[in-house]
């Protein structure tokens, strides 16, 4: 088979066009070959692999003034405007009366950096030197927002400063040039014959026999095909649905509640002391609104906090602040939903769970976000025991794919005994995934609940990180298309 027979019809058309043009842009190649520009460039790139053409690329950088930069070309940079008025040491407060505080704030750093003045004891002291810098020269070169290309090359540092200050923007434009090589010219000189190619065999071709004597398009079996990705559910959503399905299959009822909760339901109903650190602004999003306390429960909860109510407890031995209990917050856990559900359904049996979002004032980092999902659940029935709680959670984690589960003693204001479930992960060891326990009498008594209540709150996002092999929690919430495409469909 000759070299020419290895060329597709499109490659032949491009080679014939280049034989005449010698060198051209993609648009010229499109016009001469009669192909769409994408098809022409695809053929040109294939020819380049065979050494018949060369494809070069040049990136042209253009710079444009921003709206702020345009203003400064007329009036001068903030540091220039201030230093030109600075004849003697002047207080920063006085400068702010002449210029805007924002402008003075911008100018101070640059004035000092350029050595035009220094700041001492709140005074700006001029140095007597304020020569025009490269950045001012570059900015002055922009007339009526005209783009500057070659002229800015010698002032690269100044351009970078202007880009950081968002006074100019950069636009990059790519230009391609396609040229025929000597090898391509030699092949074209031999004479190129255009003939019809069959790219796909159809039933009509086979039935009619018209495929006989025709040229078939050749295929390269050594090339990796473009990967195809089917539609799929987000991996995090898939895991949440898996957890939901497990509890539904175990006979639980799913419940929902409001994002905005009163401090009463979020903290006080759970026997959390009103001076507990979790209530501080450091942990809780407090809102500038209040609500009415539930009349049938508030006094009983107050008595439980102050003196332990009618049970064998001393409470927290302090005055329960009703105004504090009325303050609304963004729920810090979904336990606020389950305790209210129990208050509305105090008769056994109760098996309920909630998978929803909670909010805390956390600094965003690879393991913390201000918003996160929590899996909350309760079981209330006669003769329920701590052993039942451990067995239930063990069964859940086993169904999630964790073989080794253990429980470490823990402390929570509203459960006793309390534990922290842990699972074993290769390479990480034992990883804690939440908290669980049996509701204290101080929690259940004000709501007429007489039977034991098993309760747990599990970290959904942390569990998802383990299942998906992630080290950064933020990936669960970002639309990284490449990661979403490549994530496994059934990895749960």
Distance CA 70, CA 144 (A): 8
Q: Quick one: pLDDT at residue 151?
A: 55
**Tens digit of pLDDT for each residue in 424-451?**
988 888 989 889 999 999 999 999 999 9
Q: Splitting the chain (492 residues) into consecutive groups of 10 residues, what average pLDDT does each group show?
A: 68 87 89 88 88 88 83 84 85 85 85 87 84 81 60 67 85 86 86 72 82 72 78 87 94 94 92 81 84 90 88 86 92 92 92 93 81 92 93 94 93 90 89 92 91 92 85 80 75 48
Instruction: Judge whether 1-66+139-223 and 237-486 match in fold.
Output: no
Q: Please identify which residue in the block is written with the tokens 């504090």.
A: 324
The DSSP code sequence of 430-475 is EEE-EEEEEE-HHHHGGGT--S-EEEEEEEHHHHHHHHHT-S-GGG
Question: What's the whole-model pTM score?
Answer: 0.58
Q: What is the domain partition of the chain in residue ranges?
A: 1-66+139-223, 81-131, 237-486
Q: Where are the alpha helices (DSSP H) in 195-349?
A: 203-208, 235-249, 263-266, 295-307, 322-326, 335-344
Per DSSP, 368 falls in state B
Burial 270-279, CB ≥16 within 10 A → b, else e:
bbbbbeeeeb
Distance CA 124, CA 85 (A): 11
Q: Quick one: pLDDT at residue 154?
A: 58
**Tens digit of pLDDT for each residue in 83-141?**
888 888 888 888 888 888 888 888 888 888 888 888 888 888 888 888 888 888 888 77
Q: Could you tell me the two tokens for 483? A: 């990661």
For residue 225, how many other CB atoms are within 10 A of its CB? 5
Q: Could you tell me the two tokens for 181? A: 């090589």
Distance CA 438, CA 389 (A): 8
Backbone angles phi, psi at 178, to 5 degrees: -110, 125
Distance CA 409, CA 458 (A): 15
Q: Select from 3.30.1950.10, 1.10.3720.10, 1.20.1440.230, 1.10.10.10 the CATH code of 1-66+139-223.
A: 1.10.10.10
CA dist list (Å): 487 to 164, 426, 480? 36, 20, 11
Distance CA 470, CA 169 (A): 36
Distance of CA 407 to the CA centre of its chain: 33
Q: Quick one: pLDDT at residue 2?
A: 55
CATH architecture observed for domain 237-486: 2-Layer Sandwich (3.30)
For residue 186, how many other CB atoms are within 10 A of its CB? 12
Q: Quick one: pLDDT at residue 71?
A: 82
Q: Could you tell me the two tokens for 193? A: 């014959």
Backbone angles phi, psi at 455, to 5 degrees: -140, 150
Q: Quick one: pLDDT at residue 1?
A: 43
Q: Quick one: pLDDT at residue 148?
A: 55
Length of the chain: 492
């Amino acid at each position: 088979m000759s070299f020419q027979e290895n060329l597709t019809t499109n490659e032949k058309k491009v080679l014939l066009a280049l034989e005449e043009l010698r060198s051209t842009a993609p648009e010229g190649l499109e016009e001469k070959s009669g192909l769409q520009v994408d098809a022409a460039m695809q053929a040109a790139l294939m020819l380049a692999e065979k050494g018949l053409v060369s494809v070069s690329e040049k990136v042209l950088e253009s710079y444009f003034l921003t709206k702020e930069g345009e203003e400064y070309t007329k009036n001068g940079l903030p540091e220039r405007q201030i230093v030109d008025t600075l004849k003697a040491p002047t207080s920063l407060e006085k400068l702010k009366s002449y210029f805007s505080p924002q402008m003075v704030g911008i100018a101070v750093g640059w004035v000092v950096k350029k050595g035009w003045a220094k700041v001492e004891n709140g005074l700006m002291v001029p140095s007597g030197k304020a020569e025009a810098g490269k950045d001012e020269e570059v900015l002055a070169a922009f007339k009526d927002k005209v783009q500057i290309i070659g002229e800015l090359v010698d002032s690269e540092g100044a351009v970078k400063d202007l880009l950081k200050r968002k006074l100019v923007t950069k636009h990059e434009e790519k230009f391609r040039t396609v040229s025929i090589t000597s090898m391509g010219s030699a092949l074209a000189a031999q004479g190129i014959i255009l003939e019809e190619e069959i790219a796909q065999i159809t039933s009509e071709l086979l039935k009619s026999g018209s495929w006989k004597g025709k040229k078939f398009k050749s295929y390269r079996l050594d090339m990796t095909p473009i990967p195809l990705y089917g539609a799929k559910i987000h991996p995090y959503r898939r895991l949440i649905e898996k957890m939901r399905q497990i509890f539904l299959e175990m006979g639980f009822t799913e419940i929902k509640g409001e994002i905005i909760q009163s401090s009463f339901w979020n903290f006080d109903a759970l026997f959390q002391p009103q001076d507990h650190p979790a209530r501080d602004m450091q942990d809780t999003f407090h809102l500038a609104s209040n609500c009415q306390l539930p009349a049938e429960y508030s006094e009983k909860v107050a008595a439980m906090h102050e003196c332990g109510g009618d049970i064998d407890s001393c409470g927290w031995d302090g005055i329960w602040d009703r105004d504090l209990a009325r303050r609304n917050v963004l729920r810090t856990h979904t336990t606020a939903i389950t305790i209210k559900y129990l208050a509305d359904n105090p008769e056994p049996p109760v098996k309920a769970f909630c998978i929803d979002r909670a909010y805390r004032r956390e600094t965003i980092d690879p393991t913390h976000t201000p918003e996160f999902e929590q899996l909350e659940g309760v079981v209330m029935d006669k003769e329920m025991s701590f052993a039942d709680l451990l067995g239930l959670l063990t069964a859940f984690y086993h169904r999630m794919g964790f073989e080794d589960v253990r429980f470490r003693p823990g402390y929570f204001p509203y459960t006793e005994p309390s534990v922290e479930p842990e699972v074993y992960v290769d390479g990480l060891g034992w990883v804690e995934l939440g908290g669980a326990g049996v509701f204290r009498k101080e929690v259940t008594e004000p709501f007429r609940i007489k039977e034991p209540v098993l309760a747990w709150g599990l970290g959904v996002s942390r569990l998802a990180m383990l299942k998906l092999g992630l080290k950064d929690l933020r990936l669960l919430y970002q639309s990284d298309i490449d990661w979403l495409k490549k994530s496994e469909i059934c990895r749960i």
